[in-house]
């Protein structure tokens, strides 16, 4: 990650933490609202986890969208291999 992007992410994280503190919202309260553990909330605030559904619930909860990380476009779980990669592996096993 380039240094400029890292500073922007760190700044967003600090602003979000300040906003939460100012509004008296704890990580535990967010975890209860999201139905997750506080460690997940910490990772979400840092931008390490970005599930669309959880971020949308935080926006509906009243947290400004600009303070939250951009939602991930990828669904949950491990990314699938393209069909061509699977075929080449099968061909390699036949040889």
Q: Over the stretch 49-89, which tens digit does the pLDDT of each residue have?
A: 889 999 999 999 999 999 999 888 776 667 677 766 555 55
pTM of the model: 0.69
Predicted local distance difference test score (pLDDT) of residue 2: 73
Percent of residues, the chain, with pLDDT higher than 90: 56
Q: Which residues contact 61 (CB under 8 A, 6 or more apart)?
A: 30, 33
For the chain, which residues make up each domain, given as ranges?
A: 3-65
Q: What is the mean pLDDT of residues 8-20?
A: 88
The more confident residue out of 87 and 32 is 32
- Please state which architecture CATH assigns to domain 3-65: Orthogonal Bundle (1.10)
């Amino acid at each position: 990650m380039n240094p400029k992007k890292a500073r922007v992410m760190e700044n967003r994280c600090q602003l979000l933490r300040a906003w939460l503190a100012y509004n008296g919202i704890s990580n535990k309260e967010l975890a209860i609202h999201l139905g997750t553990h506080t460690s997940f909330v910490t990772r979400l605030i840092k931008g390490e986890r970005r599930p669309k559904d959880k971020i949308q619930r935080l926006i509906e909860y009243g947290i400004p969208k600009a303070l939250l990380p951009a939602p991930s476009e990828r669904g949950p779980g491990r990314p699938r291999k393209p069909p061509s990669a699977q075929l080449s592996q099968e061909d390699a096993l036949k040889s």
